[in-house]
Structure formats: C-alpha cells, structure tokens
Amino acid sequence: MNTTTSLSTAAARKLASVTKSVPQMQGITPRWLLRLLPWVDVSGGVYRVNRRLSHVAGDGRIDFTDVGGSVRVIPQELCELPCLQGFEDAEILEALADRFVQRELAAGEVLAAAGEPAERLFLIARGRASMTRLGQYGDTVDLGTLGDGDHLGDRAVLQAAQTWDYTVRAETPCTVLTLERSAFDSALSDAAALRAHVEQFIANSRRPQDKNGQAEIELAAGHRGEHTLPQTFVNYERRPREYELSVAQTILKVHTRVADLYNGSMDQTEQQLRLTIEALRERQEHELINNPDFGLLHNVVGKQRLQTRGGPPTPADLDELLCRRKRTKLFLAQPRAIAAFGQECTRRGIYPQTTEVGGQIVQAWRGVPLLPCDKIPITTAQTTSILALRLGEEHQGVIGLHQTGIPHEYEPSLNVRFMGINERAVLSYLVSAYYSVAVLVPDALGVLENVELGR
C-alpha cells in the first residue's frame, strides 16, 4: 500500500513538471467598443475639441451644451423666455446662465404640484414630463407633455405669491435647470440694463384677472399677423472641451512560490498578469460608457436623445436613431435589449440581417451591426439604452484617446511597473491603463433611452 502511494505521488509530481497550467477567468466579454474604437495618440495627455456652437433663435425652444453629466443653457437662448425677448447683452446673459442649478429627476417624480407656491423657473434639458390639472368634476385633465427645450415658470420669477395651476410629473428620467426667484432678483440688482428690460416687459403686459382672481402676465397684443423667421447663429464655444486621459490602476501581487514554479520560469507570473490586464480592460470599457465626465452615455446632446415609441425597441425606433447621423458605424446595446429587439421584429414578421465584424457573424439592422455590451446599465425599472456611433477623426465621429511610448509600457498606453518584494516574499506590480473617449461633433453619438427589456 505504501509503495503504491509513493509511486502515485512521484508520478503526479513528474506530470506536474511537464504540464502547463493556464489560469482562467470568468467575465471576459468581447469588448466591442475597445476593439472598434479608432485610437488617437495624445502625446501631451490632453486632447482639445474646438467645437462650433450653433443655436437657433426664435424657434421657441431652448438649447443647451452638454459636458459629461453637466448641462448648461446657452446664454443667448435665454432670450426665448418671454420676459427676455430682445435683450442682447451677452455678458449679462452669460452671468444669468451661470445662476441656473442642475437637477436630476427620476421617472414619476413631481416637478411642480398644483396649488403649491411657484417660486422658480424650470428649463427642461433632457427627458419628458406630463402636465395635468384637476377638472371641474374631480377628474384629471391632460394638458400635454413637455420635452427637451421646453420651459415653465417664467411668471414665477416675475411675481411673488404665485401658485402652480397644474401638476408637472416626470414621465422619464429628466435633467432640468432651475432658477430661484431670489437668484433672479439678485441678477436684476446686479445688472441695471436687465432690470430696466424686465420692468419694461411688465409695463407693456396686461394682467387680466381670471375667475379665481389670480393675475397672469401675458404679452401685449402687438402685430399678430406678422411672423418672425427663426435665425441660426454659429460661433465657436468660448470654453472648448479638453479631454484629459483618465487612468485605471490595479496592483498585482504574486507570491514567489507561484512565480518560481516550473524551474524558475516566469510563466505563472505572466499568466496572472494577463488576467489582471483582462480585468483592467473590462473596467476601461465600463468607464468609456458610464464615466460621468467623459463616458458616452453622459455626453449625448439633447437633440440626439430619443425615446422609444412604446417601450421595447422597435425597428422604427432604430430607424429614427439611424437617421439622426450619417455613416453610423455601429449600435451598442445590452444583450437583453438585442433580444427584446429580436422579439419585436418577430412580432412584426421582420427578420433582421446579419453581418460580419472582426470575423464574427453578428446581428445587424440596415447593414449596421448591433453589438452586445453588458457595460450599458439596466435600471431597476428594467429599462436600458441603445447607443449609435459614427467613428473616426476623418468622419468627425467618436474616437478613443490614449498615449503610447510611456515608461515601462507593456501594451499600448498600458504599463507594468515592478514595485518590489515584501518581507512575506510577495512580488508587487502596478498595472496602469491611460485612456479617454471624445465625441468630435454632437451628431456623432446618439442614444435611444428608456428601452424596455420585455413585457
């Protein structure tokens, strides 16, 4: 018995000495975004985008600029508000725009409630909200919806003791900019020209009394038969966007007994380093999509944010997403969103085509590949988003940013530095990846939001 055990142990040791062990890792995804993004080398670590700022005056809607998760109203667009129409002092409008505060609303959250004091002005930058009021017989009367570029509460900053006549509730997640009456009064105190303009507006307005005795400010009659055509103004952004490279880092620790396996070869250390880099690349793709500063989901302008017609993604939804830009290179969607789209196609008797990308056959729509990406989040309400991208500097699209030629470079824009060995014989390596992503022009990136994953 003892002899047999001794022989078996010796045979096992001999087998281990000639067998190569390759550690494996769960959770490695195709990482289509990392694979297909055209990467631009940023030697100085900063990439500046001098983007044209274009806005239409006189169309009744307010435009915004988006920088990551931050939204700012274009100062000249404040002239779409009735009380500021015709006011042209750019510096005062710039200062007034800085007084707005960004606020995020979840679906179902109330923005303004009927009967409550009206003390602030709202500008809706993203999302959709419904307006309702209580009817004569206690029923709810639908007053329509508000969307990107709409505003409400312009009376609230002009007169005190106002109350909301209706209730405004977010139907989808919304981004709004708010201006308190106190902040508007402060702006009037700081700018005599603005104060004179608003006072003249009030003087030229009439205040009819409704049946409840509540005053409303309305524009005077004027020349109602004449129409002023909207005008498009083009300039360069005064504060061009500068993309600084972000860094993702991790520390790999390997015991010397692992590193010394197989007659002192570094094979096991190399394998552990390979798995560490795989995990780092997964995190890198996650940041390219979700980072609040440069992530794609946070850098889609309002005009490129679309809502589904009925919840699940339909062919018509993807067609509308496609028509917003030329040379769409790919769709990026949650695997479950792709499945939901396939179900909608089947329901309509439509069979999407397939195409080849990188030697793999994937689903496509109108010849544009529909690629899976599990880094796109799913909300608690079981909704998600679908991204559409145009790629490349030559097409003014979306590009990846990195820096090559860095010290201790192991892969392009990724380095591995040996940090030493501690008293417990543990080797430490610092693994760092430098990256970012830039959207060169607004229509290079679009998103279909609030995509339901199934009913």
pLDDT tens by residue, 322-365: 999 999 999 999 999 999 999 999 999 998 899 999 899 999 99
The pLDDT-based confidence of 220 (bands split at 50, 70, 90) is very low
Highest mean predicted confidence (pLDDT) among 33-37, 118-122, 136-140, 178-182: 33-37
Tokens of 312: 């699940």
Q: Which pLDDT does position 31 carry in this prediction?
A: 93
* 300 has pLDDT over 60: yes
DSSP labels, 162-211: -B-SSEEEESS-EEEEEEEHHHHHHHHHH-HHHHHHHHHHHHTSB--B-T
Q: Which pLDDT does position 32 carry in this prediction?
A: 95
Residue pair 299/68 in contact (Cβ under 8 Å)? The answer is yes
pLDDT digits (tens, 9 = 90+) for 172-181: 888 899 999 8
Q: Name residue, tokens 């096992």.
A: 12
* 7 has pLDDT over 80: no
Q: Which pLDDT does position 119 carry in this prediction?
A: 87
Q: Which pLDDT does position 14 carry in this prediction?
A: 40
- Strand-pairing partners, residue 149, are none
pLDDT digits (tens, 9 = 90+) for 62-87: 888 777 668 888 888 888 888 888 88
3-state secondary structure (DSSP) of residue 338: helix
Q: Which pLDDT does position 23 carry in this prediction?
A: 53
Report, as an integer, the average pLDDT of 144-161.
Answer: 83
Report, as an integer, the average pLDDT of 36-59.
Answer: 75
Q: How many CB atoms lie within 10 A of CB 308?
A: 20
| Cα distance between residue 145 and residue 137, in whole Å | 22
**What is the 3 state secondary structure string of 395-450?**
CCCEEEEECCCCCCEEECCEEEEEEEECCCCEEEEEEEEEEEEEECCHHHEEEEEE
Counting residues of the chain whose pLDDT is more than 90, the rounded percentage is 41
| Cα distance between residue 393 and residue 6, in whole Å | 67
* 19 has pLDDT over 70: no
DSSP labels, 278-337: HHHHHHHHHHHHH-TTT-GGGS--GGGEEE-SSSS--HHHHHHHHTTSSS--EEEE-HHH
Q: Which pLDDT does position 261 carry in this prediction?
A: 52
Report, as an integer, the average pLDDT of 273-299.
Answer: 93
* 225 has pLDDT over 70: no
Instruction: Please state which of the ranges 12-21, 140-149, 154-163 shows the lowest mean pLDDT.
Output: 12-21
Q: Which pLDDT does position 235 carry in this prediction?
A: 52
Q: How high does pLDDT run on average in the chain?
A: 82
DSSP letter (8 states) at residue 268 = H
Nearest to 121, CA basis, from 105, 143, 97: 97
* 227 has pLDDT over 80: no
Report, as an integer, the average pLDDT of 96-117.
Answer: 90
Q: Name residue, tokens 């009659």.
A: 221
* 403 has pLDDT over 90: yes
Report, as an integer, the average pLDDT of 111-121.
Answer: 88
Report, as an integer, the average pLDDT of 280-285.
Answer: 95
Residue 60 backbone class (left: φ over 0; alpha: ψ -120 to 50; beta: rest) = left
Radius of gyration of the chain (CA): 29
* 129 has pLDDT over 60: yes
Tokens of 87: 């006011």
Higher pLDDT, 5 or 313: 313
| Cα distance between residue 36 and residue 41, in whole Å | 15
The pLDDT-based confidence of 268 (bands split at 50, 70, 90) is confident
Residue pair 31/285 in contact (Cβ under 8 Å)? The answer is yes
User: What structural domains does the chain harbor?
Assistant: 32-43+241-452 (no CATH), 54-236 (2.60.120.10)
Q: Which pLDDT does position 215 carry in this prediction?
A: 40
In Å, what is the CA distance from 231 to each residue of 55, 58, 125?
A: 8, 7, 21
Q: Which pLDDT does position 71 carry in this prediction?
A: 83
Residues with Cβ within 8 Å of residue 200, at least 6 apart in sequence: none
Q: Which pLDDT does position 51 carry in this prediction?
A: 61
Measured in degrees and rounded to the nearest 5, phi and psi for residue 304 equal: -105, 10
| Cα distance between residue 117 and residue 238, in whole Å | 37
* 9 has pLDDT over 50: no
Report, as an integer, the average pLDDT of 249-260.
Answer: 80
pLDDT digits (tens, 9 = 90+) for 20-30: 445 555 568 89
| Cα distance between residue 365 and residue 354, in whole Å | 8
Nearest to 200, CA basis, from 370, 365, 117, 82: 82
* 249 has pLDDT over 60: yes
The pLDDT-based confidence of 305 (bands split at 50, 70, 90) is confident
